[in-house]
Chain A
């Protein structure tokens, strides 16, 4: 089959279009997908991660995936970040060092994720980004990665990709998985299969709420991410199945996608111009910690 992908921005519409691709290809098996990018006038580089999720699902059903008719500007971005090299395109060197490459990792690859962040975040936004901010940013990305490891059940792995915008002083990084989604975890937890994707995300964002069992507290990863974005004046997107959540400029919003995105994707946009000393809670001392 041939599918024409439209412009993919890092926003609700972008995820809707990817979920549409997932729906259009859901019955494809032992076949071939020709994904034409001829109608793509722009593709936000970090969206290569959720696009990777959808295409990994297609390929997993024994289909051949080919990406064709790629406009020059889009091709440049996606060859530089390594996404298109998965589809037999030649790599293109990133001379400006603004890309944070596309990678597909397995759930037990936390060491590789560490190497990835070490290698590709360095020099991007720093030295303006204070040392504390750099450390806390990395910490939050690991919170998201571990959420995917613990909760997603993604057999196809975890997909990461980002982009640094030096002029705008921001850095976007998306971590996506092809797992069951927040909704199904929450449904299982409550024993209720009528819980929708949006209320499930809303529940997961609340401090202390966790689907973990076995005597371990949890439910802090997303809360800490949220707190970080608030202090940093950054932005978060969480997409999981039909649910979309955005935190931007201190405002939260929820929306329902038209189609089912086959997994969960979290984007963290960090404001690299934030030079303030970073600490998420003030004046915690060794003496009063326990």
Chain B
């Protein structure tokens, strides 16, 4: 296995604010390309101050629609992340696994319950 490369989120986003889906998409594109090249990655969140689910859904969550779980677990690790951010990432990942296992299921279950109301 190749030596992992460190992907510094702060440098890709250009600052400590990781909130937008667009910035998350840029991070995603870099990670996905590396995984396809069999290149293990370490995502460093050093100097990142604000991290939210909209960013993480794009950056990491959508990887679960492209690669099997085992492959991601094998190729991606994180570092320099505090407990609060790690907790949000965990929620994002669990949600992504569920979403890609059956993306339409939630909507179907709700379709009947939405009622009939113009307001």
Residue ranges of A at the interface with B (Cβ–Cβ < 8 Å): 110-111, 114, 132, 135-136, 138-139, 142-143, 145-147, 149-150, 186, 189-190, 192, 194-200, 203, 206-209, 215-221, 223-224, 241-242, 256, 260, 278-281, 284-286, 289-290
Determine the distance from Cα of A220 to Cα of B91 in the docked complex, in whole angstroms: 8
Q: List 23 A-B contacts (CB under 8 A).
A: A136-B84, A139-B84, A189-B107, A195-B114, A196-B118, A200-B114, A203-B110, A203-B114, A208-B106, A215-B65, A217-B57, A217-B61, A217-B62, A220-B53, A220-B91, A221-B52, A280-B88, A281-B90, A281-B91, A284-B86, A284-B89, A286-B86, A290-B76
Q: Do most interface residues of chain B lie in helix, strand or loop, or is the interface mixed?
A: helix
Determine the distance from Cα of A137 to Cα of B59 in the docked complex, in whole angstroms: 22
CB distance from B99 to the nearest CB of A (A): 4
* B119 lies within 8 A of A196 (CB): yes
Q: Which residue on chain A has the smallest CB distance to residue B25?
A: A216
Determine the distance from Cα of A143 to Cα of B110 in the docked complex, in whole angstroms: 24
* B19 lies within 8 A of A110 (CB): yes
* A194 lies within 8 A of B54 (CB): no
CB distance from A209 to the nearest CB of B (A): 6
Residue ranges of B at the interface with A (Cβ–Cβ < 8 Å): 17, 19-21, 50-54, 57-58, 61-62, 64-65, 69, 72-73, 76-79, 81, 83-84, 86-93, 95-96, 98-100, 106-107, 110-111, 113-119
Chain A residues near B118 (CB-CB < 8 A): 194, 196
* B89 lies within 8 A of A289 (CB): yes
Q: Contacts A194-B118, A199-B117, A209-B106 known; A289 to B90 CB distance under 8 Å?
A: yes
Q: Contacts A143-B54, A284-B83 known; A219 to B93 CB distance under 8 Å?
A: no
CB distance from B15 to the nearest CB of A (A): 8
Contact of B19 among A136, A142, A207, A279 (CB under 8 A): A142
* A289 lies within 8 A of B86 (CB): yes
Q: Which residue on chain A has the smallest CB distance to residue B60?
A: A290
A199-B114, A207-B95 known, 18 other contacts, Cβ within 8 Å: A110-B19, A139-B88, A143-B53, A143-B54, A146-B52, A194-B114, A196-B118, A199-B113, A209-B107, A216-B21, A217-B99, A220-B91, A242-B119, A260-B119, A279-B84, A279-B87, A281-B87, A289-B86
Determine the distance from Cα of A147 to Cα of B111 in the docked complex, in whole angstroms: 23
Chain B residues near A279 (CB-CB < 8 A): 83-84, 87
* A139 lies within 8 A of B79 (CB): no
Chain B residues near A146 (CB-CB < 8 A): 19-21, 52, 54
Determine the distance from Cα of A197 to Cα of B51 in the docked complex, in whole angstroms: 30
Contact of A197 among B62, B69, B119 (CB under 8 A): B119
Chain A residues near B111 (CB-CB < 8 A): 190
Shortest Cβ-Cβ A-B pairs, 3 listed: A196-B117, A217-B99, A281-B87
Chain B residues near A110 (CB-CB < 8 A): 17, 19-20
CB distance from B97 to the nearest CB of A (A): 9
Chain B residues near A285 (CB-CB < 8 A): 86
* B117 lies within 8 A of A194 (CB): yes
Chain A residues near B61 (CB-CB < 8 A): 216-218
Determine the distance from Cα of A34 to Cα of B110 in the docked complex, in whole angstroms: 44
Q: Which residue on chain B has the smallest CB distance to residue A256?
A: B119
Determine the distance from Cα of A175 to Cα of B43 in the docked complex, in whole angstroms: 32
* B21 lies within 8 A of A150 (CB): yes
Q: Contacts A278-B84, A280-B91, A284-B86 known; A290 to B73 CB distance under 8 Å?
A: yes
CB distance from A18 to the nearest CB of B (A): 16
* B17 lies within 8 A of A114 (CB): yes
Chain B residues near A192 (CB-CB < 8 A): 114
Determine the distance from Cα of A241 to Cα of B106 in the docked complex, in whole angstroms: 24
* A209 lies within 8 A of B110 (CB): yes
Q: Which of A143, A146, A190, A290 has the most CB of B within 10 A?
A: A290
* A139 lies within 8 A of B86 (CB): no
